[in-house]
Amino acid sequence: MEPGVEELMPRLLPVDDCDLAEDFDPTVPPRTPQEYLKRVQIEAARCPDVVVAQIDPKKLKKKQTVNISISGCQPAPEGFSPTLKWQQQQVANFSAIRQSLNKHRNHWRSQHLDSNVTMPKSEDEEGWKKFCLGERVYSEIDALSDNENLGIDYMKVGFPPLLSIVSRMNQATVTSVLEYLISWFGEKKFTPELGRWLYALLACLEKPLLPEAHSLIRQLARRCSEVRLLEENKNEEQISALNLIICLVSRYFDQRDLADEPP
């Protein structure tokens, strides 16, 4: 080791010069402690002073940017801000639903699913989006054909969040599906199918929240506030659904800085 380098990196195990056999070969396994230490010195001397990692840029293209917002929710459109009494009632109803779900979870989990219900694997993002929203919403098809109106095709309109379905989802799956739907909602419009599933997944989310779930529901509330503000037709039913989600995130899950202030 060079003297200048040793000033910055002093030897922890100083090694004195030692007599080695004439046939010493540093490429073969050491036979004595002296040969081992000598081999370490030789390998250290061969290391470059600067090492540059070879990074494939293609592997960084997907999800390399994370946008984190610490701002609160956008205020409700004028005339659509929910009252405190309404928010308190929604929290009470939601709490009762969660208690009932927890109490009867084992019963609903034991119920047989219909033959046409095949739940995707937890990591199957596209599969869950189609399962929850249906191909019609997922593919943004405006209308059903006459033949499709003759009966319900859940592959096209999405499976509702039946208790027999959500009771089979563990917390990892609940969080994953919630993430998939929030990601989809980040670029798409709000639909009744989406609203039903978001409500059901929130009802299945256990407290205290894990950090990932905490971040997800805050992201969801902010997105709801953006969508209701941009709602052109001011659809009262849709704004009420968005108000409900914001209410549950802020007041039931204790994210009070995101709450709607009563008018």
56 lies in some domain: no
217 lies in some domain: yes
17 lies in some domain: no
Question: Is the pLDDT higher at 22 or at 184?
Answer: 184
207 lies in some domain: yes
Which of 30-39, 64-73, 102-111, 215-224 comes out lowest in average pLDDT?
Answer: 64-73
Query: Rounded to 5 degrees, what angle do the CA atoms 130, 204, 206 make?
Result: 135
Please report, rounded to a whole number, the percentage of residues in the chain having pLDDT higher than 70.
Answer: 79
Question: In the chain, how many domains are there?
Answer: 1
Instruction: Among 111-115, 133-137, 146-150, 212-216, name the most confident range.
Output: 212-216
Tell me the residue range of the domain where 198 lies. Answer: 90-139+155-258
Q: Which residues of 183-207 are buried (b: 16+ CB within 10 A; e: fewer)?
A: ebbeebebbebbbebbbbbbbbbee
pLDDT in tens, 208-244: 999 999 999 999 999 999 999 887 777 889 999 999 9
The model's pTM is 0.70
Backbone phi, psi, residue 110, to 5°: -80, -10
Provide the pLDDT confidence category of residue 203 given band limits of 50, 70 and 90. very high
Q: How far apart are CA 215 and CA 203, in angstroms?
A: 17
| Token code pair at residue 232 | 């052109």
67 lies in some domain: no
> How confident is the model over 94-108, as a mean pLDDT?
95
Residue 100 CA: distances (Å) to CA of 53, 92, 97, 163, 167: 54, 13, 5, 11, 12
Q: Which residue has the tokens 């200048």?
A: 4
30 lies in some domain: no
Q: How far apart are CA 111 and CA 99, in angstroms?
A: 19
208 lies in some domain: yes
Q: What is the CATH number of the domain that holds 216?
A: 1.20.58.1070
32 lies in some domain: no
